[in-house]
Amino acid sequence: MGKIVTRREFIITGATGLVAIYGISACTKSDSPSSASESVKVEAIDPPAGEDFKDPPEMPNLSANAGVVEVALEAKTAKVMIKGVNVDLMTYNGYFPQQTIRVKRGDKLSINFKNSLPLTTDKNILGYTKNITNIHTHGWHVSPSGKSDNVFLHINPGEEFLYEYDLSKQEAGTLNFLHSHGHGLVTEQMWGGLAGCALVVADEVDGLSDFETHIISLHDIDLVGTNPAPYTLEDYMNGKEGNIVMVNGQINPVLPINPGQVQRWRVVNASTARFYKLSLEKHTMYLIGTDGGLLDKPYPLSEILLTPGERIDLLIKADQGSGSYRFLSMPYDRGGNVPQTITLMTASYRGNTVKDEIPVTINSHAKKLNVDTAALRRSQIALSMGVNKGLINNKSFGDDPFVHTSKVGTFELWEIQNFSGMDHPFHQHINPAQIIFMKGGEKGYASLYSSIPAWKDTINVPKGGSVTMLVPIRDFSGRTVFHCHIIEHGDLGMMAVWDIVK
C-alpha cells in the first residue's frame, strides 16, 4: 500500500546524499548554462517520412456506471521499438505512447495504480532510490490531498494505491496529461517513458466534434544500446535533449488530410527539457485552446512556442496546393541547448476535396478576468540556479524549501522572476492562472498570452525576464507545489511548497 510521506521524509531518504557527495551550498550561484548553443553547430533533425500517423490507444473504462470512470494503471518496464531498436522503457500498462484516459466534467475517476517497476536499492546520481514513484494529473483542478493529485505520495515497487478524483470543478474541453512526480526521480522516469498519458476532458461547446481530431504527444530520447541514455550532472543543469524526436512514439509519421479539410490537433509537450517552436509549412495554425481550456475564438498564428508541460489546441485547414507539408519545430535558444530545426511529422494531402471552414467563435464563456488588482496580495517568486542546484527564492526543495501560503477564495498577483541564463517554464499545480504581463523573451509568445483569455498552468519565464499572473485560489485546500517544468531543474530543487488553507 502506498503511503503519504512528509517533505522532510523525502529529504532524509533521498536528498541528503546529494549534499554529502557534492558539497552543495544554496548560497553558491551558478546561473550561466553551458555554452553549447554558442560553440556547437548541429544539422537539422529531418528524418524521412515514416508510417501513417497513429493516435495513442484508449485506456478502457472498467466501470459500467454513468458518471464513473475506472482504469487500471501499472508502471512497469517493457520492450518498445524505437528507430529499429527494441528499447527497455518504463511504461504505463506496457504502452508507448501512453494510453489516453477520457472523462467528462463531473465524473468520478478511479485509477487503480500499481508500481511494478523493479525493486532496487540503487540510487540515481542525485542520491534518490530508484523506482519509487507516484502520479500527477498535470493541469487538473482537483484536490491536492489524500488520494487525489497528491504529489507527496511515495509508492514503492510492488505497492498499489487507489487514486480517486472528483472532476466536478474541472474545466471542460481541456487536454492534460499524467506523469510521474516523485521528487528527485521525475526526470529519469519521464525521460525513460513515464509521461504523456493524455487526460482528455470532453468538450461542452458545439461544433468542434465535427472536426477530425488527433492527439499529438511530443517526446525526445537518446539511447545507449537498448536503454535510455543515462544522466550526468551537466544534463541536470542544462536540461537533457534527445536526438530522437517522436510524435506519439513515431518518427516523422504521415498524417493524411483531405484538401479543404479542417482538423483539430491537440498537442502536449511531454519532453523533460526540449522546447518546440511549432510551425506547419505554408499553413496558418488557429489556436483555439491552451492549458486550461478553450478560448473565445480562433487566433491565427504562423508559429507558437510550446515549452515542457504546455498544451495547445489547434485547428488546421488544408488550404494549400496538393502535396506534403512538414510540421516543424523551429530553432529556439532557451539557454543550455543547441537550437535546431526538427521535422516532427508530415501532413499529406489525400482524398477528395471537402469544404470545411474555421469557426468564428469557440467558447463564449472564455473571458479575461476583470479584477481590481490594486488591493491584491502581491508575491515575488525568484527562479535561479546554484551549483548542481535549482532554487526558488534562494531555497532548494531538497534542503529547506520555500513555502508559499495562500487562502481559498482569494486572488493573488504573482511576479515570477528569472535570474538565470536559461528560460524556465513555470508550472503551478491545481489552480490555473491568467497572464497579465511578460517581460523579455519572445515577443510573439508574450503578446499572445498576456492578451488572450487563456488559463495557464505552465508559462515560460524567459532568461532575465519575468511573468506577472493573476492567480485565483479556488475550491481546494491542501499542500501542493510549483516548480520549473524543465524537469531536471525541478529535481535539482527548483520547486516550492504551496500550502493552500481555508
Closest residue by Cα to residue 178 from 165, 169, 426, 253: 165
Q: What backbone torsions phi and psi does residue 489 show, to the nearest 5 degrees?
A: -70, -35
For the chain, the structural domain boundaries read 28-33+366-501, 46-201, 208-349
Fold of the CATH domain 46-201: Immunoglobulin-like (2.60.40)
Q: What is the pLDDT of residue 6?
A: 42
Q: What is the pLDDT of residue 43?
A: 81
Looking at this protein, which amino acid is placed at residue 64?
A
Q: What is the pLDDT of residue 40?
A: 52
Question: What is the helix (H) or strand (E) element at residue 384, kind and residue range?
Answer: strand 377-386
Domain 28-33+366-501 in CATH 3.30.365.10? The answer is no
Give yes or no on whether 28-33+366-501 and 46-201 have one common fold: yes
Closest residue by Cα to residue 300 from 282, 318, 288, 312: 288
According to DSSP, the residues that pair with 380 across neighbouring strands are 415
The pTM for the full model equals 0.92
Q: Give the whole-angstrom CA distance, residue 180 versus residue 257.
A: 34
Looking at this protein, which amino acid is placed at residue 28?
T
Fold of the CATH domain 208-349: Immunoglobulin-like (2.60.40)
Least confident of 32-41, 48-57, 280-289, 327-336: 32-41
Q: What is the pLDDT of residue 319?
A: 98
Average pLDDT of the segment spanning 160-167: 99
Residues 239-264 have pLDDT tens digits of 999 999 999 999 999 999 999 999 99
Q: Output 373-376 pairs: Cβ under 8 A, ≥24 positions apart.
A: 373/411, 373/413, 373/436, 373/470, 376/411, 376/412, 376/413, 376/470
Average pLDDT of the segment spanning 129-140: 99
